[in-house]
Structure formats: structure tokens, C-alpha cells
Amino acid sequence: MSRAAGPNKWALAGVLTGHFLLGFAWLVVFLGTVFLTSSYTGSADLVLLLAGLCWLVALPIIVKGWRSGSPWYWGVPVAWVTVFAIATVLVVAESVKSAGESSSVESGPPRPGTACPKRPPRAQSGQPQVAGPSHGASLIAFDSDRDGSPQIYVMNNDGSDQRRLTRSGADDLSPAWSPDGTKIAFESNRDGFPEIYVMNSDGSGQRRLTDTQEDSEDPTWSPDGTKIAFVSSGDPGGWGIFVMNADGSGQRVRARNVSSVAHPTWSPNGRQIAFVGTGDTTIYVMNSDGSGQRRLTDTHADSEDPAWSPVTSRIAFRRSFGDPDAAAAIYLVNPDGSAQRRLTHADAGEPAWAPDGTKIAFERRCWHSNDKADEDHEIYVMNADGSGQTRLTHNSADDARPSWQPTPRRP
């Protein structure tokens, strides 16, 4: 006797409808959960990919079960969504646990809206708290408006001996050490427009490298010290990534239509440059000649301030979710976009690696009371895994954009 085709067809239609609805519901819950918990990591990407493949594979399995006349095929959608619901819980739990471990360090900064750590007794006497030196580095350059307009300062990597290098009266920002540690590139509007300048490590020999009559910002040296990448509005198409020789000659555009805060950073071998794409939201990687551009981070959260480790294939960057009062954080990511990991809480950004890759200096928004208007930015340092977060600067002004000297200070 043949099967009753009608009821079986309606049963198949019902199971397939359930399969579509359960898949859609799981996708909404999955994306919503990882978004709200900042858990969109490499593990989440893998779960999302496997879930999509399993959802597709389940379709022919359901049809095969229906044709065989066996009743088990209706359980395929239920089994599928159960397995990946468990996977979602595990991914989120892993990410939250990792973030909790990073933020539970006793010396780490508090979450937004809480008071910043008090100045330690030694820091009050002119000797800031020691975070522990990093081998192969002695100075951190940064900009600060503690004396009026932003100027370039340097300090030891334990926060001691802070001293001013520039005295232009204009805005001097974004210091970047040369690979041999003898020069500092920076941006300044002392001649009317933000342009790229260079000086010796003691502040002497200041001279302008660009003369674009446009905004030129965020200089960064190639690992061999022969070139400097920077972002400029001097390209006819808008903001672009430019590369020039270390003496300012040979300026050429490498990427067009990028963010005004593109913040280029070179890979350790000098073959690639990471930067922020148009809209201040997404980090891209390209070859140093401008070819092979590809997106590194997703677009559901703002990603900026990339900093390539000088010794490993890891990129630190700042990630936020659009709300100016929400906590942005520093993350790590591989150059292929995988294995994202959160290192900090509170509003942190502008990561700068120590030359041996063991520590990261960064800028953090610091509240001195529960009144968010009572805030400034300070320089912190942490281990490369996010532990040992320690404050280096203690000012009522803004101390920002750290850059770590690649080689020890010479007498």
C-alpha cells in the first residue's frame, strides 16, 4: 500500500518551516547576545560559520528522512538548534570569563563612572608608581596639554622623569619614534595647517617634512626607518594614506577614501599597513604599495587606533559600540581578523607596543569623581595579555597618544 502523499507533504512543509524559523531565531539570539556582551571573537565567527553549514546540510537530511517514511526527520531542526544554542552559551561564557580575568587585576583601571586610582605616595613626591620596565626600551613619548596647548613630552617607561620636548605654542600631537630611537615624527599646526614634522629625541632639530596646505596627521615610521606613512586630506578624493621618504621627499598616496583618523601602522616586516577605513568604523590591511586591501574587523562596532606588534602577528586596536558614554576597550586580533580578545575595560585607546612586545602603553579616559564632566586622559601601561594595568601619568590635563621608544636611551 502506498503512503498517503497529502499528509506527508504537509508534515514535510511543517518541518521545513520550523527549520527556517528556528534557524532565524537562533541567528537573531546569537548575534544579539554576542553584541550585547562584546563577545564577537574568533570563536563566535567559527560557530556562526559552522551553524550556517549545518543548517544547509540539515535540509537534504530532512527530505531524505521524509522520503524514507521514518518519523525521526522532524527532530533534525530541534537537534540542530539545541547543539548551537549550547555553542552560543559556551562562546559567550568564554569571552565574559576572559574579559573578567583582564579586568579583575588589582592594579587595573576601574570601569567607567568610577573614580580613578589616587596618586600613589611616591608619585606625589615626583616618582610615579613603577609598572615594571620593559627590556629594550627606556622612554615613552606622548602629547599633553598640561602647560596650555598640546606639546610633546617624554618619560621613562615607569612614568618617572617626565619632561617637555616642544615649545611651539601651537598644537603638537601624535609623536612617533623612529626605529633607531633617535628621532620623533609628530604633527603640528604651527605653520597654519597640521603638517608632519621631525625632531631629534631630545627635542632639537625640529623641521617640517610636509607642505601640503592640507591636514597631514598620524605619522608612523616603516620598520627600516626609510619611510613615513601618514594620513592627509591632500588627496583630491578626500582623506588618504600617504607614504614618503624619511626626509619628506617622494610623497605618494597609497589608499584613498580612508578615515580622517586612519592611524596607519606598519607590519613588523614592512610589507603591510593597517589603517582605519572610511567612516571611522573598520580596520583594513593592505600591502605597503596600496594593493590587496581587505577588511580586518566587522562593521557592527567602531574599530580604530590599530597598532601592529613589532615582534608578533598581533594587532591591538580600540573597539567601541557607538555610545560615547559606553566603555570602549583595547582588543587584540590576528592579521586575518581571527581570535579577537578583549584586554581592557573603561574607555581605553591609542595602544602602543613596547619594542619587545611584552607590554602595551595606552591612553585611558579617567574620571576623578562620579561626575563625568570631571575627566581627563592619562597614560597607562599593561602586560600584553591585559594584566598588570598601571597608571603612569597623574595630571588634571590630557596626556594622550603614547609612543614607545624602540631602543634604549643613549647617554
pLDDT for 372 equals: 53
How far is Cα 318 from Cα 297, in angstroms, rounded to an integer?
A: 11
Half-sphere exposure of 323 (CA within 13 A, CB side): 5
pLDDT in tens, 86-97: 877 776 666 555
Are 249 and 226 in contact, with CB atoms under 8 Å apart? no
How far is Cα 356 from Cα 283, in angstroms, rounded to an integer?
A: 24
| Amino acid identity at 355 | P
DSSP helix/strand/coil, 27: helix
Q: Mind giving me the DSSP string for 332-391?
A: EE-TTS---EE---SSEEEEEE-TTSSEEEEEEEEESSS-TTSEEEEEEEEETTS-S-EE
Query: Which residues of the chain fall below pLDDT 50?
Result: 1-7, 38, 98-114, 120-137, 409-411
pLDDT for 110 equals: 38
Helix (H) or strand (E) holding 245: strand 238-245
Residue with cell 603638517: 195
pLDDT in tens, 140-165: 999 999 988 999 999 999 999 999 99
